Amino acid sequence: MFKSHRYGLMTSIVGIAAVIVLLFVYRNLAWHGLIDHEIKAHTTLTQVFSNSIWPTYAAFLLDAARFPKAKLQQHEVTSRLHRDVARYIARSSVVKVKIYDLDGLTVFSTDAAQIGQDKSRNSGFVSAKNGVPIGKITFRDRFDTFEGVIVDRNLVSSYIPIRISDNAPVEAVFELYSDVTGLVGDLKKHQRQIIFWVVGSLSLCYLILFVMVRQADRTIHKRDKQHSDDKAKIHYQAHNDALTGLHNRTSFTERLEEAVKRARRAGCMLGLLQFDLDHFKLVNDSLGQSAGDQVLRTSARRMQVCIRESDMLFRTGSDQFAVIMEPLRNIEDASRLASRIIEAMAEPMKVHDQDIMVTASIGISIFPQDDINAEMLVKNSDAAMHLAKHEGRNQYRYYASEMKQQALDRLDFETGLKLALQQDEFVLYYQPRVESGSEEIVAVEALLRWAHPERGLVPPNSFIPLLEEMGLINSVGEWVLRTACRQTKKWHDSGMPRIRVSVNISSGQFRTHSFVDMVKDALDLSELDAQYLELELTESVLIENIDSAIKVMEALKEIGVSISIDDFGSGYSSLNYLKLLPLDFLKIDRTFVKDLATSEKDVAIIKTIAALAHSLRIKLVAEGVEEGYQAEFLRSQNCYEFQGFLYSPPVPSAAIPDMITSREVRRAV
Ligand code: C2E
Ligand code: MG
Ligand code: MG
């Protein structure tokens, strides 16, 4: 993290250091200024001395070397000179005076004891002898002066050449000491004040800077935290499913690749289980999306409880889940987990106050036995899952190599389906619907077939769910609607009795907002009178969003088409909605008709549905009528129309006119 206050502190330290250096420079300058000032004063004094006193004593002093030291110290001339010098320096800051001849001999000193000392090597003396005055500042804790001993003093001592005039040769050297303790004290006081103000203001600045930088640091820290929180959130959303909180497909692909690599390195087995909830679409379509969501959440929770800590559970698709078992000690562990999940799912789920059963079909593939590549393992378990579904659902299957072929076939099938519409491979068969009393053909139901180039005529149940999954149901549905209308109009134009055509509408098709327009277009294009078109809807279409369904149905009624509910009783029937809908027909699901002879319950159900339809003035149609006794019973229940193998299976369009004619002929006979 960026710690800006550290940089602030460092900057302040550098600032303080710079100020200390500046103070040091200032102190030196002041020191030198003081010395220079004293040298100048000493030079002036020396000048005065040279002009006034020196001429009197020069001859004696320049010849003083001839006297022994003691004699010189006590010489009468020396005493006189002492008095003159005393007078001369009175009222100045000079506290001591020494005079050297050009050989460096101390020929005079206000401290008589020093007379006779040799100073020829002293650098100050040498400099002055060469004509350059020089000075320095020193501190003495004890110092002998002209007027006695002084203590703790700052002194400036300077060596000044003595000459008669500026250009005259140097005759001797004067050494003067002046007491600058007062000045130095002032200087130090100033220095202290400057230090106080500078350090004080700097500290204040630093304090302000510190507070500001700390504040900025906090903001940056907060922003950094927000940033990393956002990153974590984005990562979570990208790798997790919002509904169940499980890892999602992206995460699955990444983790499986990694797990396969690890298993390859460690030389151990890995299990991949893929499951799909059986008939989940039905739950979604009939109970609504929120119920579907609840089922998914409950299923995810139940699965989560079944897996081991080392296993990973993913939601890989709408109702699809996967588990990576890593490591897999033995193949039976995969079976055990699959069984546990199937068992856990077997418990009924409470959804919107209804108990519903949701089962799962599971496919298992094993690394390295089935494949060593992650992508292929997914394909293999997918194929195994489809086998489990195909063989009755609510079970698990292991991948077997023959499935590869089946998976390829499925892929082929899907590819073929995509092209079927362009390649004109769809055909409509028509199954007659007869009036129960006269047994005359009054309508036909259009039933879709796929004329597969290799497989022959493929029934709709094996490809309509696929068309829905692949998002092709609308374009194919539109083709069915247009073809059925065109065909019926053709029959009408040929002069045979006018029959209705009923067309099956899938829920996806019904939900598209352009559905009513699609129906209008089909009628306009074919010029078929709307009263001859019937649309068969399933219950699931209605339950999902009853209000919008009613609106669409009313719009359809306005055009003039009839509406029927297909396979009535097989879905999540709510008898309540019947009274709300503008219905013309109810088609009882053929499963009730099938077991009429043996099932008293089915008899009771049909009776109830018939009574209900009758009271709501909706015409009842029975599908799957195969036997005479079924027709007999249904007729007794005021069933209005029959459809079933007893009369005719679905046939190509060309067969219909003959059928109508032959029935008419039979009736006439
Ligand atoms: P459905 O609408 O209930 O169609 C009636 C089904 O019952 C037809 O199956 C028909 O062949 C079959 N059937 C008729 N009489 C009897 C009988 O006496 N006994 C038995 N056991 N079965 C009989 P098919 O043609 O295989 O159609 C299956 C389903 O596919 C249809 O059920 C319908 O839901 C759907 N379907 C067919 N064509 C279309 C279509 O164009 N669009 C949509 N969305 N669905 C379609
Ligand atoms: Mg139908
Ligand atoms: Mg039906």
Domains of the chain from N-terminus onward: 2-186 (3.30.450.20), 249-407 (3.30.70.270), 432-446+471-668 (3.20.20.450)
Residue 539 pLDDT grade (very low, low, confident, very high; cuts 50, 70, 90): confident
Nearest CA to ligand 1 atom 19: 624
Contact 103, 181 (CB under 8 A): no
CA distance 81 to 88: 10
Count Cα atoms within 13 angstroms, Cβ side, for 218. Answer: 5
- Average pLDDT of the segment spanning 601-627: 94
Residues near ligand 2 ion, CB 5 Å cutoff: 504, 536, 566
Residue 653 pLDDT grade (very low, low, confident, very high; cuts 50, 70, 90): very high
Residue 2 pLDDT grade (very low, low, confident, very high; cuts 50, 70, 90): very low
Residue 335 scores a pLDDT above 80: yes
How far are the Cα atoms of 39, 145, 519 from residue 45, in angstroms, in the given order?
10, 18, 128
Nearest CA to ligand 1 atom 25: 447
Contact 575, 583 (CB under 8 A): no
Pocket test for ligand 1, best of 502, 623, 630, 643 (most atoms within 8 A of CB): 623
pLDDT at 180: 84
Ligand 3 center to residue 653 CA distance, Å? 19
Residue 4 pLDDT grade (very low, low, confident, very high; cuts 50, 70, 90): low
The rounded percent of the chain whose pLDDT value lies above 70 is 96
| Ligand 1 and 459: CB distance under 6 A | yes
| Ligand 1 and 593: CB distance under 6 A | no
pLDDT at 204: 84
- pTM of the predicted model as reported, rounded to 2 decimal places: 0.53
The DSSP call for residue 110 is S
80: number of Cβ within 10 Å: 13
| Ligand 1 and 8: CB distance under 6 A | no
* Closest by CA position to 38, among listed 100, 82, 95: 95
- Average pLDDT of the segment spanning 93-104: 90
CA distance 367 to 577: 52
Of the ligands numbered here, which is closest to the C-alpha atom of 535?
Answer: 2
Residue 372 pLDDT grade (very low, low, confident, very high; cuts 50, 70, 90): confident
Pocket test for ligand 1, best of 504, 537, 565 (most atoms within 8 A of CB): 504
Residue 574 pLDDT grade (very low, low, confident, very high; cuts 50, 70, 90): low
- Average pLDDT of the segment spanning 98-119: 90
Contact 199, 5 (CB under 8 A): no
Close Cβ partners of 168 (under 8 Å, ≥ 6 residues apart):
none
What are the beta bridge partners of residue 315?
Answer: 321
Q: At CB < 8 A and 24+ separation, what contacts does 97-100 make? A: 97/146, 97/174, 97/175, 97/176, 97/177, 98/174, 98/175, 98/176, 99/61, 99/162, 99/172, 99/173, 99/174, 99/175, 100/125, 100/172, 100/173, 100/175
Ligand 3 center to residue 608 CA distance, Å? 19
pLDDT at 404: 60
Report pLDDT digits (tens) over 9-21: 677 678 778 877 8
Residue whose tokens read 């993290």: 1
Contact 177, 157 (CB under 8 A): yes
pLDDT at 408: 65
How far are the Cα atoms of 91, 103, 120, 121, 316 from residue 117, in angstroms, in the given order?
28, 11, 9, 11, 108
Report pLDDT digits (tens) over 153-174: 888 889 999 988 888 899 999 9
CA 368, 372, 375, 376: dihedral to nearest 10 degrees?
-70
| Ligand 1 and 590: CB distance under 6 A | yes
Nearest CA to ligand 1 atom 20: 624
Least confident of 105-109, 196-200, 644-648: 196-200
pLDDT at 1: 44
- Average pLDDT of the segment spanning 443-472: 91
Please provide the average confidence, as pLDDT, over all residues in the chain. 89
Residue 357 scores a pLDDT above 90: no
Phi, psi of 320 (to 5 degrees): -115, 140
pLDDT at 205: 74
Helix (H, G, I), strand (E, B) or coil at 389: helix
Ligand 3 center to residue 524 CA distance, Å? 27
Residue whose tokens read 């002009």: 51
Of the ligands numbered here, which is closest to the C-alpha atom of 650?
Answer: 1
Residue 235 scores a pLDDT above 50: yes
